[in-house]
Amino acid sequence: MAMEIKEPRIGVFVCHCGVNIGGFVDVPDVAEYAKTLPNVVHAENNLYTCADDGLTAIKNAIKEKNLTRVIVASCTPRTHAPLFMRICEEAGLNKYLFTFVNIREHCSWVHMKEQEKATAKSKDLIKMGVARAVLLEPQEEVKIDVRPSSLVIGGGIAGMTAALNLANQGFETHLIEKEPELGGFLRKLSTLYQTQESSAKAYEGLIKKVEANDKIQLYKNTTLKSLTGYIGKYDAVLNVNGEDKEIGVGTIIVATGADEYRPKGLYGLGEHDNIITLTDFEKMVKEDKVPADLKSVAFITCSGARGQDKEYCSRICCTVTVKNAMKVMEMASKGGDAEAKVEEASVDEKAVSDKEEEKAEEPEEEEGESRRRSRRDRRGRRGGRRRGAERGEERPKERGAAVDVTVFNRGITTYGIEQELLYNKSREQRVKFVRFVPENPPKVSMEDGKLTVSYYHETLKADRKMNPDLIILATPLTQRPDAQELSKMLKVPLGRDEFFLEAHVKLRPVDFATDGIFLCGTAHGPANITEAVAQAYGAASRASIPMSLGYVQAEAIVSYVDRERCSGCKSCEVVCPYGAIQFDEEGLAEVIVAACKGCGTCGSICPEKAITMTHYTDEQLTAEALAALEEVGT
Amino acid sequence: MATKFEPKILGFLCNWCSYAGADLAGVSRYQYPANLRIVRVMCSGRVEPSLILEMFIQGADGILVGGCHFGDCHYQTGNYFAEKRVKLTKKLLKRIGFEEERLRLEWISASEGERFAETIREFTKQIKEIGPSPVSGTTPNVDILKALFAAKNAVKDFRLKLLVSRELDLVMEGNVYNEKVPQEEIDTVLDAAINYELDRCSIIFEVRDEALSVDELAQRLELPPNRVLQHIVTLRDRGLVMLDRIDNDTPLYLAVEEGIK
Ligand SMILES: Cc1cc2nc3c(=O)[nH]c(=O)nc-3n(C[C@H](O)[C@H](O)[C@H](O)COP(=O)(O)OP(=O)(O)OC[C@H]3O[C@@H](n4cnc5c(N)ncnc54)[C@H](O)[C@@H]3O)c2cc1C
Ligand code: SF4
Ligand code: FES
């Protein structure tokens, strides 16, 4: 490409920047030197090149001297390039034929005591700029149309929220859900810790709204089969009940949620019916199947998390543990009352179902009464608390609680104001918290036909044992098994913990690096509903920006593939963080201009040298660097 | 030479972090020696070994590649690849007896102006201590120059590049069977590839002007003849070496001119 350059006509403008440059660099001398460089037909120095007269000088010179390249030697392109590029454009010169030479930040300001050297270096830097400018080519910035429609993957609370939000803004929204029903993980849960109300309340209304919205195309029993395209123009094939359906959208939101981790064998999980997970327990509660005669229940937090299998902390399970510990207490106190009543009526022990009926039949007042009573109980107990606490959590049964609930934990993280209050409340209700260190976790075994937890009591400094009727493990949320496949299809990454990875942890928390694809809910990592919903609003709002604009401005600095040279080795695809490389029918690479950000990493990895990075070509970089190695004045 | 040695130092800096760090050094007026010449690239991932080696061939005394800290690359992962490539290049330099310290990789953020200045001060001092590049000036060390050329050819090799591009993936994500490949294993493969490429490049150099037999080559390069033969086969496959003629039943090989550059 270096060939057949129609003798570029270069104009160089060297800035004094008042004394900022002029005070340390001999600016007129530098400008004179510039005139001696090849292809330079005009050079001048300005007091402030970025001031009106400086800008006018550039415009005039472009017109009068037919300049085809402009070089400004002044401050830094990071602040001033847009201005000078605009001026070139206004004067009819393609703005990519402008070259910036930094002689202030990189020269006069850092060599203030070596003025001769600073002057020589300024000359060098301009020589480098000229070497580069000669090889520049005009570039076009293209606009890419964006379809005003979106695909939301996953019909949990996050996906539904995002879909509704987009639909309410008027965008055609396709919501796909793998399962036959919307609702996601919440379907498995009993009550929510935020409201103490049934989780169904959180999603049922939402499902109705989604189903009634005529901007939402809802597909149940549906997954994504394949995807091609880029922001603005994604073509997806859906697998709807086993049949293919093609749709076209402009943006995509990933809301595929997470699963509960089930580490088989850990603390005996899967080996005994009474060793279960939090989700199992919530299901039990929901289905009214909690055994009635629970005397002792043990929770173990961080099961399989924080270095045990999974590295991360799953954030929500401490609060969920507290919620369920209190649930056990609550059920027992209710059950206790019921039992008392049953005894009073001198009915012999009946099956659980009877008690269940009893509970159901309990009139409102009775319920209220029982609650009041338990509150009284609590108040009554409080007096003895301090003394009890000093003795550690191992207080005898005399305190009167119907059930003994112990939470083995590695520190409780009930983050958030309300959640912390919930924790305090659980302590008031006599939930016992026993800490363990990761090196010495509690051990679960069967002794004399009884479930046994052996543990080391860190406060009492003693080995202890207990015999719970039920052991509930707080296991972390974990990525779904099919996420890998989805990540490949969408060309978006999974992070170290296998959750979908956002573009920037602080600045772009619901974007993927790939333009046009966004992320919300537990697909991104453990989160509660509040957070999942907030992310869903964020993702929907981010997705709506290009859709309401109707276009995106593609970068002019992108790479392109020489098909003659490409061997289809796919190295470039591996290194591109934006999924901007696709392969045509012949297996040859092509760059999706809309998706390319112009980093140039693919260009430097291509074994066949088939990829050229516009504006930063091998020739341009080599020429610029080589100019630096020549002696000044040569 | 009476004048004091003033090293020529090139800095390939990414626009978003290191270049900005250099800007901040200026804004904060941190002073550093005037030997550095900065070339702006969009990402450190753009800087390829052949560019670095070419600049050393052309007489650069020191080269700094500057990028963002891990996790901060404006393009997500460019700096991971930059690290791999600089590591590869250093390995090559070391092997050919060119001071690898002349090449340096630094992660400098936009807010580390002082660190930028300090890095340049220190690097310039170090290069001054090492002295002028053995291949600069009017009397370059021809052996090293030749080796640099060989190294530059080696890094253009298809499989070597492929390996570097896949290296990160292999370590982080594992191969198709989802096995993670340990770093040392990859290093071994890389080492072997580099050594082979250097051997092959040396062969091409030897047979550039005169046709030689496998045995002659083996002697000159101090390599086992069967290794040389393997290389010749590969080089013929790649169209870089051809059979020139057969002398007394001994085949003599010659480099194919276009293939070299
Ligand atoms: C035991 C337990 C108790 C909890 N208790 C509470 C609580 O009290 N309060 C609270 O705020 N939070 C609680 N949570 C957290 C809560 O469940 C999550 O925050 C919430 O479910 C996240 O919603 P989501 O939409 O992101 O994901 P999900 O609810 O997991 O929904 C994702 C949906 O996407 C679908 N899907 C997955 N993959 C695909 C695919 N490839 N194609 C199509 N569809 C797909 C799934 O079938 C699912 O319907 C609890 C979690 C657990 C484990
Ligand atoms: S139990 Fe608490 S600390 Fe443990 S993983 Fe869950 S949220 Fe994190
Ligand atoms: S942008 Fe700085 S290293 Fe990639």
Nearest CA in chain A to B39: A625
The Cα B208–Cα B203 span in angstroms is: 8
**Whether pLDDT at A493 is above 90:** no
- The answer to whether position B150 is within a domain reads no
- The three-state secondary structure class of A618 is helix
Nearest atom (ligand 3) to Cα of B78: 4
**Whether pLDDT at A609 is above 90:** no
**Whether pLDDT at A315 is above 70:** yes
B238 close contact with A: CB closer than 8 A: no
What is the band of A339 on the pLDDT scale with cuts at 50, 70, 90? very low
B162 shares its domain with B247: yes
B71 shares its domain with B35: yes
Backbone phi, then psi, for A463, in 5-degree steps? -75, 140
Report the pLDDT value the prediction gives residue B243, as an integer from 0 to 100: 92
- The answer to whether position B143 is within a domain reads no
The CATH code of the domain that includes B95 is: 3.40.50
Chain segment A423-459, per-residue pLDDT in tens: 999 999 999 999 999 999 999 999 999 999 999 998 8
How much of chain B, in percent, has pLDDT values that exceed 90?
57
Q: A383-387, A427-431, B193-197, B233-237: which has the minimum mean pLDDT?
A: A383-387
Q: B130, B165, B180 — which closes off a domain?
A: B130
Report the pLDDT value the prediction gives residue B168, as an integer from 0 to 100: 58
Specify the DSSP element, H or E, that contains A348.
none
Give the rounded distance of the alpha carbon of B234 from its chain centre.
Answer: 22
Domain span at residue B245 reads: 157-259
B114 shares its domain with B227: no
For ligand 3, whether the C-beta of B68 sits within 6 Å is: yes
For ligand 2, whether the C-beta of A473 sits within 6 Å is: no
Ligand nearest to the CA of B81: 3
What is the band of A387 on the pLDDT scale with cuts at 50, 70, 90? very low
| Centre of ligand 3 from the C-alpha of residue A603, in Å | 15
- The answer to whether position B138 is within a domain reads no
Region A535-554 average pLDDT = 96
Count of structural domains, chain B: 2
Neighbours of A298 (CB within 10 A): 27
Pocket of ligand 1 (CB under 6 A): A 153-159, 176-179, 184-186, 189, 192-194, 223, 255-258, 260, 278-279, 282, 316, 320, 323, 477, 480, 482, 486, 521-522, 527-530, 532
Tokens linked to B248: 């007394």
**Whether pLDDT at A236 is above 80:** yes
The Cα A554–Cα A280 span in angstroms is: 49
Backbone phi, then psi, for A589, in 5-degree steps? -75, 145
Report the pLDDT value the prediction gives residue A631, as an integer from 0 to 100: 66
| Centre of ligand 1 from the C-alpha of residue A275, in Å | 23
B185 shares its domain with B222: yes
- The answer to whether position B57 is within a domain reads yes
Q: How long a stretch of residues is chain B?
A: 261
Average confidence score pLDDT of chain B: 86
Smallest Cβ–Cβ distance between B45 and the set A111, A574, A601 belongs to: A601
For ligand 3, whether the C-beta of B47 sits within 6 Å is: no
Nearest Cα residue to B45 out of A77, A575, A615, A565 = A575
Looking at the complex, report in whole angstroms how far the Cα of residue A627 sits from the nearest Cα belonging to chain B: 10
Kindly state the DSSP code that residue B231 receives in the 8-state scheme.
H
For ligand 3, whether the C-beta of B78 sits within 6 Å is: yes
The Cα A193–Cα A455 span in angstroms is: 29
- The answer to whether position B4 is within a domain reads no
Q: Are B67 and B61 in contact (CB under 8 A)?
A: no
Q: Are B253 and B207 in contact (CB under 8 A)?
A: yes
Smallest Cβ–Cβ distance between B34 and the set A76, A117, A557 belongs to: A117
Report the pLDDT value the prediction gives residue A65, as an integer from 0 to 100: 96
Nearest Cα residue to A326 out of A217, A432, A478, A172 = A432
B85 close contact with A: CB closer than 8 A: yes
Looking at the complex, report in whole angstroms how far the Cα of residue A578 sits from the nearest Cα belonging to chain B: 8
Report the pLDDT value the prediction gives residue A379, as an integer from 0 to 100: 43
Neighbours of A629 (CB within 10 A): 17
Tokens linked to A570: 């796919």
Looking at the complex, report in whole angstroms how far the Cα of residue B222 sits from the nearest Cα belonging to chain A: 29
B124 shares its domain with B173: no
- The answer to whether position B16 is within a domain reads yes
| Centre of ligand 3 from the C-alpha of residue B91, in Å | 23
B13 shares its domain with B126: yes
Best of B16, B48, B53 to mutate (most A CBs within 10 Å, chain A): B48
Neighbours of B52 (CB within 10 A): 27
What is the band of B143 on the pLDDT scale with cuts at 50, 70, 90? confident
Q: Do B31 and A120 touch (CB under 8 A)?
A: no
Tokens linked to B165: 């591009």
Q: Are B9 and B127 in contact (CB under 8 A)?
A: yes
B48 close contact with A: CB closer than 8 A: yes
Cα dihedral sign for A397, A399, A400, A403? negative
Report the pLDDT value the prediction gives residue A606, as an integer from 0 to 100: 87
B188 shares its domain with B253: yes
Report the pLDDT value the prediction gives residue A401, as an integer from 0 to 100: 63
Q: pTM for this structure?
A: 0.71
B120 shares its domain with B21: yes
Q: Is B192 exposed, middle or buried (0-12, 13-18, 19+ CB in 10 A)?
A: exposed
Q: Do A609 and B85 touch (CB under 8 A)?
A: no
Tokens linked to B244: 């020139």
Torsion of CA A614, A617, A619, A624, to 10 degrees: 100
Q: Are A494 and A483 in contact (CB under 8 A)?
A: yes
Best of A78, A570, A581, A604 to mutate (most B CBs within 10 Å, chain B): A604
How much of chain B, in percent, has pLDDT values that exceed 70?
85
B13 shares its domain with B94: yes
Tokens linked to A79: 């602040």
C-alpha pair distances (Å), A44 with each of A61, A71, A518: 10, 11, 50
Q: Do B29 and A598 touch (CB under 8 A)?
A: no
The CATH code of the domain that includes B170 is: 1.10.10.10
Average confidence score pLDDT of chain A: 88
Report the pLDDT value the prediction gives residue A258, as an integer from 0 to 100: 98
DSSP secondary structure, A129-194, as one string: HHHHHHT-----PPEEE--SEEEEE--SHHHHHHHHHHHHTT-EEEEE-SSSSS-GGGGG-SB-TT
- The answer to whether position B113 is within a domain reads yes
**Whether pLDDT at B123 is above 80:** yes
Report the pLDDT value the prediction gives residue A22, as an integer from 0 to 100: 96
B166 shares its domain with B219: yes
Which residues of chain B lie closer than 8 angstroms to A78, CB-CB? Answer: 15, 19-20, 23
The Cα B43–Cα A203 span in angstroms is: 45
B230 shares its domain with B179: yes
What is the band of A34 on the pLDDT scale with cuts at 50, 70, 90? very high
Region A240-253 average pLDDT = 97
| Residues forming a β-bridge with A247 | A236
What is the band of A634 on the pLDDT scale with cuts at 50, 70, 90? very low
Angle, alpha carbons A299-A300-A305 (nearest 5°): 140
Tokens linked to B5: 């040695």
Smallest Cβ–Cβ distance between A574 and the set B8, B22, B165 belongs to: B165
Ordered structural domains, chain A, with CATH: 10-139 (3.40.50), 149-258+479-553 (3.50.50.60), 266-342+399-473 (3.50.50.60), 558-614 (3.30.70.20)
Q: Which among A204-213, B65-74, B189-198 has the top mean pLDDT?
A: A204-213
B120 shares its domain with B23: yes
Report the pLDDT value the prediction gives residue B258, as an integer from 0 to 100: 54
For ligand 2, whether the C-beta of A313 sits within 6 Å is: yes
Report the pLDDT value the prediction gives residue A1, as an integer from 0 to 100: 45
Chain segment B80-105, per-residue pLDDT in tens: 989 988 988 998 898 888 999 999 99
